[in-house]
Amino acid sequence: MTYAADRAWEEVAYVAYYLHWPLDAILDLEHPVRERVISEIGKIHTRFGAED
């Protein structure tokens, strides 16, 4: 598997874990949109993690 494929699976797993979206919905996202979703999840995760 190439780096790009490994990275894509990491992105898919991250979004699926946090948003519980189905695989098809995540794969249908354009890469820049998927990256933005991941960034926003990270911000939320950091914000809520800091409140613990």
Give the residue carrying structure tokens 């933005």: 36
20-40 pLDDT, tens per residue? 999 999 999 998 999 999 999
Q: Are 26 and 49 in contact (CB under 8 A)?
A: no
Q: Which of 7, 4, 2 is nearest to 38 (CA)?
A: 7
Measuring CA to CA, how many Å separate 2 from each of 7, 8, 30?
A: 9, 10, 19
Say if residue 45's pLDDT is above 90: no
What residue segments make up the domains of the chain, in order of their start? 3-50
pLDDT band at 1 (very low <50, low <70, confident <90, very high): low
Q: Which of 17, 14, 20 is nearest to 39 (CA)?
A: 14
> What pTM value is reported for the model?
0.78
Per-chain mean pLDDT for the chain: 90
